[in-house]
Structure 1
């Protein structure tokens, strides 16, 4: 007897199950994105989403700029004499026009950048600050430790003055004053790290605008070359780094400041960029020179001595070999900015005579109900459910009569 009632109960259960399942549910497989450290001993960062090769899985990732740049040893094109020796722990020699990396050593090794980080500070803030704006430095900026231009807490300086002090005499006080002019230290550090990501300088983490040592702060010879190359494309940046001497405002007139980059006076075609030193970071430098219409970039990190002649020798090697060798990697281009979304134009409304609009019939509309299921489906399932309940009740009643 019970067998006759299996079908209605099955209909009831099926209807209940169908009504209880959300519509349009789906599971997507999201590809791995973001930087991935595959070389624990070097602490380098590898290309993630946004690299020109496109998204990769973790196992397929390679160092930014090419697989060979992931090594820690010297990388030189085949059949070419190695660059002159240097005491620097890491370096990169690159062609600024093509982006070709001509030779490198521990290109992605992360080290303390010291004042070479000021190149990122300048590149980040130059587009954001009005050069003619007057600045009154805070007491904190005036008392910033380390190298300084000698600011006083008076409105004597323009943004232009502070950028010159930043890049010529490596003023830590100027770095803080510029950060405050940009909305504060936290805002400026966020902007600097966003700019590093835009450049694909993933080894770089800014914790100070000056480059003063701080836990977690880092960069690499590769990233310094990327930053310098991007800076060379900015006319104001080029003007600041190539200025040898200038007048700087003082409470009583002015005094003269000179660029700390010694190669501006010693090396033919030197454009400049930035040098740095702290007791923990040791010596670092990133610079560019132009000869015969071509520009070569050299960056070095963690040099424990006097490096100017060694940098000059590396530049000479770059000019002698650019355009003649198979590059060992390349300086990648910045991530392109997203195109602005199109703005829909709305036609002006014109009053027109319209017939009265009656309220729509939900049952006839067949529109979405809840999560994309047409209301007609719910109506049909409701009818099935009601019929199943009625049939079940009828069968149970007949069965109870016969049992008596």
Structure 2
């Protein structure tokens, strides 16, 4: 096992006078920082400081750990930790083990992390868009310090400290959706969805552009090679740029929570990962997304009046730029009974991103789970696998 990296968070609290006037059981939200997001080739980037030097990282909610490109690590003269090599895996072939680099200080907003072991991944993993090339990935080991509001239409990320908050507590005006996903010990949010009324599990993945249905998800829906070969074909890219064959399949219905969308085109691959699907930026970029690492809940609010900028994606986002149809029926299994969906254990050799951005798969956590949350350390295997 890797040595556990320490975390040094700056004091973030209400003043004594404020605290004294707030009942103990009242939800307290404190916005610690609002940071601009820059869109680059479908990824959303945020500025951090690494050893006192400004760097730009891609926000990736399914990455278990923050990573850097070799070029960025070399430019910062980061020392190598030779005590244990770490293996990266992704959509596509597994990368060779490499030793992580040591980051003395990483600052995001008002908080600082010290003595981080930061893996590096394949050179030139990112392409430039609008002149911006990310130096790496900002993963869940850092993001989970906060409740995080990702306002993609307005290009902002707000970091909140949440205390005593339960239920629907997002400070938003108007209607929004609440989700109670599976929250894993690696700080991933696994959404319950349905494709053509077949229940599946999807990792909420801001590093996936666009969404991707994997091998297990296709099997659950009854899609096999003989059917998919009739669909339009294309090539995608996985870990370190590895080519992946894709079929563009039209689903009659896609259900997320109580919302159902009709006539949806999604990419389907025979790639395997622990969840059935990656719910990516083709859906998320139209929305304000609240990731409550303190409670394990997710809130979303559509902002269809704002058109996100970025590379041409005509036709791909039409389905996601609508509120969908409200459904009274819960997501059910084929037998007609509602049930919590099972999920394969997220092992130390798993990650779920469909893009050229890999994720650390042997990792140590920087902090314990949020207060009141029980880590899902022994999730059951997929049924039928």
Q: TM-score, length-normalised on structure 1? A: 0.24
- Higher normalized strand content (fraction of residues): 2
Name which one, 1 or 2, has greater alpha-carbon Rg.
1
